Structure 1
Amino acid sequence: MTSIPLAHRGYRLLLRGLTLPMLAWLWWRGRKDAGYRQHLGQRLGFTEPAPASVGGLLIHAASVGEVQAARPLIDALRSEWPVHTLTVSTHSPTGARQLRSHWGDAIQHVFFPFDTPGATARFLDRLQPQLVVLVERELWPELLLQCRQRSIPVALVNARLSEASAASYRRWQALMQPVWAQLALVATADTPTTERLRALGVPDERLLETGNLKFDQPVAPAGSQELRWLRGRPVIVAGSTHEGEEDALLAAWPAFAERHPGCVLILVPRHPERFDAVARLIDQTGLPCARRSRQEVPAPETGVFLADTMGELGLWYAHASVCFIGGSLAAIGGHNALEALACGKPVLFGPHTQHFQSLYQEIEAHGLGERVASARELLETAGRWLDEPARLADKGEQARHFVERQQGSSQRSLQALRPLWQPTQPGLLTQVLQQSLTNQTLWHDPAMLTQCSPRLFDPEEDATALATGSGRGQAHRLQLEGQEVVLRHYRRGGMMARFSPDRYWRSRAPDSRAMGEYALLRRMRAWGLPVPAPVAARQLLSGLWYTADILVAMIPGTQNVAQRLSQAPLGDDEWRALGLAIRRLHDRQVIHSDLNCHNLLLDESRQAWIVDFDKCEVRTGETWKEQNLARLLRSLRKERIRRSPFYWDETHWPLLLAGYEVEAIPSA
């Protein structure tokens, strides 16, 4: 277990103390946006992920901006990871809505938990990600610590770090120092960020400047049929605006509109909870206004349009003549101008751009935009641009080319991330369908079983009984849809078997014996380990108890080692094959809780297999591996006493260890 530094203990104490106030704050924010009151249990780690997403990829993008930034990378990841294996977490409901606007329900969304030990542990234990990808600067100390304890690699992509943020991290060095050495990859958006992260302690070999993902953003189509009312009218789009910016623009608008009749000001507030407040602000000015949420089309004399919907900022930029990037007149720090530039539009921005300092410096250096001090100056500059349409068009082309020259970050990031999951084969993380019936839950792989029903778990009369493991389990060999499968009913061992031979305390279905083994087998198959394929699993409830069953694919032509040794000695190469199979399991940190000669199989080609993963898990550390091998040795010694003949003696054990000591060869 990783020792907990004193600074981190203090952080834990603080976050625990803030849990109730943070829940109250979410409830209070829910007055304006009901999304903050939804799924509050997920904030405490009580997520219920879809079975197919367990063991997949977790991408954390805090809110709208990060989701938008991650969009090109997620699309790139989908070329290798099945969509059902991807989970995106956000803090804000607006980020969740942005996610749904891009992919609907295809990609699973969950709310990111509070960074407390309990919430984070539940979150990771239920999702069991193979890789965690953080977007921009979402570095949460407890999440990072628990990923270290679980040997889950963590990558930071599209990393952006201002000097102010770097100074803040330096002040909290005792808390953050373990994080920098832990990160398996840091893909940065720009050179200043790279230098700041290097100074903080990120190792050089893990730092890679891949560029800004937002350069790869898809551009909204400019010729949308529904926006014909904009054709022929000059359009000024104020995107991602904050309090204080809309009223300043509205105050300066009448004078501008007199000089530029027919021009439209499109206001796009950054936060949806401010939509109605901005609408009231416009009403107070007396300016004619139309609202997108009401599907209103502005009349020719209407000069103000409120774009009060989510996920359409790119659409407005695509139809703009001139774009203003909000959060820069107000002392917010500015928002990303790349989406407007990608649409071929020059940009105007205020004095506060520290969040994207290097980008705005490049914009000014290349003549792609201008910095203004006030709303009045903003509109005066926009007016000059509109009076010179040829120059404005030239600026737009330069903006588009600027973005195109720097595209490709998503593919560079994907290439950098790939070694973190290899040799895992994501395509082998097959779909899992779940049925929740009155008193039972069923999982099955639709690629192996077209239909799954409770009757499949009741042995047929002509089923062949098998002995597996230590003999406790009830196993049958069946034919299902033209394939041989093994049905195993979970039974207890030891003293407990006398009181409750096959019943276990009631639990969540994913935590049951059957579903736990099913999920682990599915992950191990993707890792290329020599284990059977899971076919279906069942948890059957009865009062405070449950019973469990699992169906796995039959491995043809196999016998367990105990059976083989009752017939003839094993060859040297077979012992080495068994050692190598165990080593491959251990290299993936999988402990077989009952490793014995009944759970090791050999097929006709002398390849070794491992079966029966009840109560097994992925475990960190190294000391248990020697103990695991010792358990196998004890089982061989026990069988030599129980069976006659049994062709094993102590001289065979070094042969198995010789196979174990060979470095496992990646199977992918």
Structure 2
Amino acid sequence: MSWPQRAYRLASRALALPLLGWLWWRGRREPGYRQNLRQRLGFIPIEPESFGCIWVHAASVGEVQAVQPLLHALLKEWPAHAIVVSTQTPTGARALHAHWGERLRHVFAPIDTPGAMARFLNRLQPRLLVLVERELWPEWLQQCRANAVPVALVNARLSERSVRTYSRWRGLMQPVWAQLTVLAADPESAACFRALGVPEARLHETGNLKFDIAAPGAPAALPSAFDGRTLIVAGSTHEGDETAWLDAWKELASEHPQWLLVLVPRHPQRFDAAAQLVQSRGFSLARRSRGETPSAATQVMLIDAMGELTHWYQHAALCFVGGTLAPIGGHNPLEPMAVGQPVLFGPHTHNAAALYSEIERTGAGVCVRDAQALAHAARRWLTQPATQAAHADAARALIAQHQGAAERSLARLQPLFRPAGIPNVSRVATATMGKSTAWFDPALLNAVTEQTFDPQARAGSTALATGSGRGQVLRIGDGERGQVLRHYRRGGLMAKLSKDRFWRTAPHESRAMREFALLRQMRSWALPVPAPVAASHRPRGACFYEADIVVGLIPDSANAVQLLQQRALTTTEWAALGQAIRRIHERQVFHADLNAHNLLLDGAGQAWVVDFDKCEVRAGEDWKARNLERLLRSLRKEAGRVTPYHWTEAADWAALIGGYQSISTFP
């Protein structure tokens, strides 16, 4: 780790407490900031069904809206229980819940400190992190690198000014550019990421996801009080936007008293301030939160409620996008355009400069520099229907031209999480039995009890002779539905003190649950490993626990040592074993005990790998050669231990390595 990264870690730790204090202070006006503060430190609820998920981070409302088309596309490929969305703001969380309800799991994102991120990853164990637009947090990215979690930046937007900023922090950010897969929203952003050092193979221009936001259905009718009124909707406004509109409204309202200015502030904490601003200018005001509707004398309608902007855009005769006359950088202009509306906007559009430039160039919108230009444009559009209709046609054409970004983005994400098909993704149920905890797959087991993991209670169970001499392994049931029960035991010197008790830890960190979760993830990749059926964590006293796991039986199989005692393996069989190991290594799965007892061949000649106790997804490449060396030592050890043993080291090992090397990349 470089010294800038170490310095950043120290600074983030030092700022953690002030940041939490700021969140608490901000919660005075927005109580949501005071909720779930533990999650900001990484203490998210543990839901085993989310292990191995795709983690999508959408910081606030804009990112939640932008990523909706991609989430819809992902759900076609990947089950709902395997997608988790994090936000930083409560408004983002509300927007997510309003659209998805309970269909997607939501958590608050951790602050960017080593401890918070480590706890978060430990409790979520994602297979892929998808960041939306510009959320590049150094500690998040560093820990994802260390844990071999791929990271993609979708709908990525970057300005030349941001390039200069990131370039000044080269020591901190340089490792990030080689790590990211960037799906750029526009050519200009792609060029910026290329200048920073994102490899060409990881840089793709997939388009702006916001073009794919589905047009809403027909809007609900407005109350009769709005009859005869022409609605001009200024959406996502800040103080500078509202000031300009109220300046323009002096002459517009007097010229056209039937026109009604509808203000929709961006942030709820500004609702009262916006109302005071309107009233201080002497305009007659109605507030949505009070259930008020406009009278004939009402000049301004304030929508001081969340989640209604699209509804008002649908009823508008003219739409303005906020954050553009105020020096904010511009909010989403595609939201009104998706309902067929052209847009007015101010000059401050650096958040999406390329998009706003194209809108202006194609005639889908017009840029106004000040209140006077705003009044002129509004007057022209609303009194010349043909002019506004031409702009509306251009807006619809622009939307149609750029649609498809979600499918293009999904195609680039698939190699990162490489779904093997929903049927391979097991569900997870939990059960509590006294102080014991169990996880199980309800498709393979109806329920679990203490007897599920008790060898003496499993009538008809038979011991499996693995030859390893340590594990207590039983075969349960018959045929294709057969299962294997393994009781975790210690090895080495610790076994002399305790054969099967381990230092107490949380259930999700226990050996059984970690192996269960890893098997579940590997099965989703269609790797040659047994199906996870059930796992248990049983506390023993104040300091210890015992653990068991039940996995699916691999019918008509034997391990390599058992087979070598009977006959020599063919070149094809050795190659199959090498290919099975390579497939697991390609997924960065480190097998802590890769030995000849954990390699199986079934009756059809298919190779399998079993016993993933203390294994993990691990970054890097150097450990893979050492993993193979461990297997070679195991094969040599058995040659001196058992007789007969049909093993010819030079030829057989060459055949295994040949199979290993025959897979260049995972399909």
In the superposition, the TM-score normalised over structure 1's length comes to 0.92
Aligned residue among 345, 360, 363 for 1:349: 345
Partner in structure 2 of residue 67 of structure 1? 64
Name whichever of 285-294 and 451-460 sits farther off.
Answer: 285-294
Aligned residue among 132, 135, 139 for 1:135: 132
Task: Tell me the SS of whatever aligns to 2:235.
Answer: strand
Q: What is the distance in 1 between the residues matched to 2:625 and 2:390? A: 70
Partner in structure 2 of residue 500 of structure 1? 498
Partner in structure 1 of residue 401 of structure 2? 405
Q: Would the alpha carbon gap of residues 427 and 70 (structure 1) be closer, same or farther in structure 2, given more than 3 Å must change?
A: farther
Q: Would the alpha carbon gap of residues 466 and 293 (structure 1) be closer, same or farther in structure 2, given more than 3 Å must change?
A: farther
Task: Tell me the SS of whatever aligns to 1:240.
Answer: strand
- Contact kept, 8 Å, 1:469 with 1:596, in 2: the verdict is no
Q: What is the distance in 2 between the residues matched to 1:137 and 1:667? A: 30
Q: What is the distance in 1 between the residues matched to 2:291 and 2:549? A: 53
Task: Tell me the SS of whatever aligns to 1:25.
Answer: helix
Listed one character per residue, the Cα deviations across residues 124-172 of structure 1 (whole Å, up to 9, x for unaligned) are: 3333322222211112222222222333322222111122212212222
Partner in structure 1 of residue 606 of structure 2? 607
Name whichever of 36-45 and 295-304 sits farther off.
Answer: 295-304
Q: What is the distance in 2 between the residues matched to 1:358 and 1:397? A: 20
Q: Would the alpha carbon gap of residues 644 and 163 (structure 1) be closer, same or farther in structure 2, given more than 3 Å must change?
A: closer
Paired residue type of 2:410: L
Paired residue type of 1:233: R
Q: What is the distance in 2 between the residues matched to 1:99 and 1:91? A: 12
- Contact kept, 8 Å, 1:478 with 1:485, in 2: the verdict is yes
Listed one character per residue, the Cα deviations across residues 215-248 of structure 1 (whole Å, up to 9, x for unaligned) are: 1112223432466654543111111111343355
Residues 177-216 of structure 1: pairs in structure 2 closer than 5 A: 177-183=174-180, 185-216=181-212
- Contact kept, 8 Å, 1:577 with 1:659, in 2: the verdict is no
Paired residue type of 2:197: G
Q: What is the distance in 1 between the residues matched to 2:629 and 2:235? A: 65
Paired residue type of 1:388: Q
Listed one character per residue, the Cα deviations across residues 102-126 of structure 1 (whole Å, up to 9, x for unaligned) are: 1112212222222222322332333
Q: What is the distance in 1 between the residues matched to 2:195 and 2:648? A: 58
Matched, 1:313 2:312: no
Task: Tell me the SS of whatever aligns to 1:566.
Answer: helix
- Contact kept, 8 Å, 1:82 with 1:427, in 2: the verdict is no
Task: Tell me the SS of whatever aligns to 1:78.
Answer: helix
Matched, 1:616 2:615: yes
Partner in structure 1 of residue 333 of structure 2? 337
- Contact kept, 8 Å, 2:320 with 2:343, in 1: the verdict is yes
* Shift of residue 367, structure 1, vs aligned partner: 2.8
Listed one character per residue, the Cα deviations across residues 255-311 of structure 1 (whole Å, up to 9, x for unaligned) are: 533332333322211112223433454565665544444555445554433323333
Matched, 1:546 2:542: no
Matched, 1:260 2:256: yes
Task: Tell me the SS of whatever aligns to 1:502.
Answer: coil
Q: What is the distance in 2 between the residues matched to 1:294 and 1:316? A: 17
- Contact kept, 8 Å, 1:587 with 1:664, in 2: the verdict is no
Paired residue type of 1:499: L
Aligned residue among 523, 526, 532 for 1:525: 523
- Contact kept, 8 Å, 1:219 with 1:314, in 2: the verdict is no
Aligned residue among 515, 518, 533 for 2:513: 515
Aligned residue among 489, 492, 496 for 1:491: 489
Partner in structure 2 of residue 654 of structure 1? 653
Residues 144-223 of structure 1: pairs in structure 2 closer than 5 A: 144-183=141-180, 185-223=181-219
Runs of 4+ in 1 over 6 A off after TM superposition: none
Matched, 1:7 2:18: no
Listed one character per residue, the Cα deviations across residues 555-590 of structure 1 (whole Å, up to 9, x for unaligned) are: 111122233233333333323322332232223222
Matched, 1:32 2:26: no
Question: Structure 1 vs Structure 2: percent identity of aligned residues?
Answer: 55
Listed one character per residue, the Cα deviations across residues 496-519 of structure 1 (whole Å, up to 9, x for unaligned) are: 223332222222221111110011
- Contact kept, 8 Å, 2:77 with 2:419, in 1: the verdict is no
* Shift of residue 364, structure 1, vs aligned partner: 2.5
Q: What is the distance in 1 between the residues matched to 2:472 and 2:287? A: 66
Name whichever of 473-482 and 607-616 sits farther off.
Answer: 473-482
* Shift of residue 415, structure 1, vs aligned partner: 1.7
Residues 188-587 of structure 1: pairs in structure 2 closer than 5 A: 188-225=184-221, 230=226, 232-250=228-246, 253=249, 255-282=251-278, 287-299=283-295, 301-375=297-371, 377-422=373-418, 424-425=420-421, 428-436=424-432, 438-459=434-455, 460-468=458-466, 470-479=468-477, 483-542=481-540, 543-587=542-586
In structure 1, stretches of 5+ residues that fail to align are none
Q: What is the distance in 2 between the residues matched to 1:218 and 1:663? A: 45
Q: Would the alpha carbon gap of residues 576 and 405 (structure 1) be closer, same or farther in structure 2, given more than 3 Å must change?
A: closer
Aligned residue among 83, 107, 110 for 2:107: 110
What is the root-mean-square deviation in Å for CA atoms of aligned residues?
2.7
Task: Tell me the SS of whatever aligns to 1:345.
Answer: coil
* Shift of residue 64, structure 1, vs aligned partner: 1.0
* Shift of residue 71, structure 1, vs aligned partner: 1.0
Paired residue type of 2:111: F
* Shift of residue 656, structure 1, vs aligned partner: 5.0
Matched, 1:595 2:584: no
Q: What is the distance in 1 between the residues matched to 2:57 and 2:553? A: 38
- Contact kept, 8 Å, 1:318 with 1:340, in 2: the verdict is yes
Task: Tell me the SS of whatever aligns to 2:239.
Answer: coil
Q: What is the distance in 1 between the residues matched to 2:508 and 2:467? A: 23
Paired residue type of 1:444: F
Task: Tell me the SS of whatever aligns to 1:329.
Answer: coil
* Shift of residue 321, structure 1, vs aligned partner: 0.9
In the superposition, the TM-score normalised over structure 2's length comes to 0.92
- Contact kept, 8 Å, 1:222 with 1:315, in 2: the verdict is no
- Contact kept, 8 Å, 1:560 with 1:598, in 2: the verdict is yes
Q: Would the alpha carbon gap of residues 229 and 444 (structure 1) be closer, same or farther in structure 2, given more than 3 Å must change?
A: farther
- Contact kept, 8 Å, 1:539 with 1:548, in 2: the verdict is yes
Q: Would the alpha carbon gap of residues 83 and 230 (structure 1) be closer, same or farther in structure 2, given more than 3 Å must change?
A: farther
Q: What is the distance in 2 between the residues matched to 1:300 and 1:377? A: 27
- Contact kept, 8 Å, 1:221 with 1:318, in 2: the verdict is no
Paired residue type of 1:16: R
Name whichever of 558-567 and 159-168 sits farther off.
Answer: 558-567
Partner in structure 2 of residue 664 of structure 1? 663
Name whichever of 99-108 and 482-491 sits farther off.
Answer: 482-491
Paired residue type of 2:529: V
Q: Would the alpha carbon gap of residues 173 and 598 (structure 1) be closer, same or farther in structure 2, given more than 3 Å must change?
A: closer
Q: What is the distance in 2 between the residues matched to 1:284 and 1:49? A: 51
Q: Would the alpha carbon gap of residues 261 and 222 (structure 1) be closer, same or farther in structure 2, given more than 3 Å must change?
A: farther
* Shift of residue 641, structure 1, vs aligned partner: 4.3
Paired residue type of 1:143: W
* Shift of residue 615, structure 1, vs aligned partner: 1.0
Listed one character per residue, the Cα deviations across residues 404-447 of structure 1 (whole Å, up to 9, x for unaligned) are: 12211111111222223337546523222223454122222222
Name whichever of 593-602 and 625-634 sits farther off.
Answer: 625-634
- Contact kept, 8 Å, 2:588 with 2:617, in 1: the verdict is yes
Q: What is the distance in 2 between the residues matched to 1:418 and 1:357? A: 29
